[in-house]
Amino acid sequence: MKSRNIRILLILAVLVCAGIIATQVYWVRSAYVLNEERFQLNVSIALRNAAESLMHAQGIQSNEPTRVEQLSTSCFAVHVNAPVPKGLLEAQLSSALAAQHVAADFQYELSANTATSPISYAGYIQMNGNSRAPEKLHDLPVQPSGHQYIGICFPQRASFLRSRMLPWAGSSLLLLIAIGFLGYLLFLNFQERSLVEVQKDFVANMTHEFKTPLASIRLGADVLKNPEITGQPQRLLSYATIISNSAMHLTSQVDRILQMSKAESEGLQLNRTDFVWQDLLRAELPAYAQLAAAGEGSVSLQLATVPIHFKGDKEHLKSAIFNLVDNGLKYSLAPPRVHISLQQEGKQIILKVRDEGIGIDKASQRHLFERFFRVHTGNVHDVKGFGIGLNYVRIIVRAHGGDVKCDSQLGKGSTFTVILPLS
């Protein structure tokens, strides 16, 4: 599937998930409000039933409907037109609330109908069967003489309502977990797809990389097969050189791939020896110059005068610097110019490979050292490569305790800085 379609599908999937989560939040909130309303209704019914039972027990018939007042979110009051015996009140309240499935702790108090001592008695009923001293309740309504009020409060109302929400919360949690799993699977799938893309790119690059030297070798060999060529030593030499250079190029590319896969499968084995950085770079300069000569370019060296001694894997470090120089030459318009500078700053060795080439955009700079990464040029393979060189450089430099970074400006050039700790 095209990546644009995948992106659209991904956006749709995210929107659907966001919609499901929003709906779920809405339902949970609505369920909570409904639960609150149901709680108030159940308590009102329970209080009315309790008050009517109490009057009935005293043989009092009232033609007035029993009125329940809500004093606050968790406190209620009900009017009883009869004397209320203490033992009977607790039992009636408990059974009326249980019948309405209100299994929450409650505190009750009975108005004494005198101004000096407004409460005749109070109690705190816990659902776990333990008893507690009652606290100060909501003020009961002012009572007309001869009337009594039962006040009842639910101090644990919020947690009781929350406990009733558990099935809702559980189902929402399961849904969130399912969405999380789906997201993770999607992420794995994308990761796999991008790996496949990377591998496809790698195979395409490798085919291009190998095609040109192989064609040169075939061409050169065809010419050498011609018996007439033996009489032309100059042409013989130039075709032999083409074949040799192409074979060398192929070998170096194969070596690069082998080095990388070996480092990956066996772990990087460093063969550390003592050397002086200036000597290494001076010895390598002819190889750089030969590389630059193909594009009529140049490589310059600017080295610190004080010898910089180092203990490291000379071969790997040589290949790493070669990669940087090679890139500087490859990614420049002709004639390419690469400048290498080496200096010591405190306890660090600073080696810079600067070019005046095409530069790298900011977004690509972030991925530069990732394996198989190549700056996107559409499907144009104008400069050949596998996208493993810089990753190799970073592996080698880090194995020596250092790091490598890139500063680049599109169209102006790039500077790769290798920082190594002095041994």
Determine, following the binding rule CB under 6 A, whether residue 387 of this chain makes contact with ligand ADP.
yes
- Please name the amino acid found at residue 234: Q
Smallest gap from residue 330 Cβ to ligand ADP (A): 6
CA distances from 65 to 62, 79, 239 (A): 8, 10, 116
Q: Which of 125, 390, 399, 404 binds ligand ADP (CB under 6 A)?
A: 390
Question: How far is the C-alpha of 69 from the C-alpha of 7, rounded, in Å?
Answer: 58
Contact of 49 with 152, CB cutoff 8 Å: no
SS3 207: helix
Two tokens, residue 227? 């018996």
DSSP 8-state assignment for residue 377: B
The residue (of 43 and 360) whose beta carbon lies closer to ligand ADP is 360
Question: How far is the C-alpha of 338 from the C-alpha of 353, rounded, in Å?
Answer: 7
Determine, following the binding rule CB under 6 A, whether residue 119 of this chain makes contact with ligand ADP.
no
How many residues at the interface with ligand ADP, by CB under 6 A? 20
Q: Which of 155, 213, 220, 357 binds ligand ADP (CB under 6 A)?
A: 357
* β-sheet with 403-409: strand ranges across: 298-303, 337-345, 348-355, 413-421, 403-409
Smallest gap from residue 414 Cβ to ligand ADP (A): 4
Question: How far is the C-alpha of 280 from the C-alpha of 277, rounded, in Å?
Answer: 5
Determine, following the binding rule CB under 6 A, whether residue 331 of this chain makes contact with ligand ADP.
yes
Determine, following the binding rule CB under 6 A, whether residue 358 of this chain makes contact with ligand ADP.
yes
Determine, following the binding rule CB under 6 A, whether residue 374 of this chain makes contact with ligand ADP.
yes
Q: Which of 310, 355, 356, 400 binds ligand ADP (CB under 6 A)?
A: 355
The residue (of 217 and 324) whose beta carbon lies closer to ligand ADP is 324
SS3 70: strand
* Helices (H), ranges, 62-165: 86-99, 157-164
Q: Which of 165, 179, 206, 375 binds ligand ADP (CB under 6 A)?
A: 375
Determine, following the binding rule CB under 6 A, whether residue 373 of this chain makes contact with ligand ADP.
yes
Smallest gap from residue 353 Cβ to ligand ADP (A): 8
Query: For binding to ligand ADP (CB under 6 A), which residues are involved?
Result: 323, 327-328, 331, 355, 357-358, 360, 368, 373-375, 385-391, 414
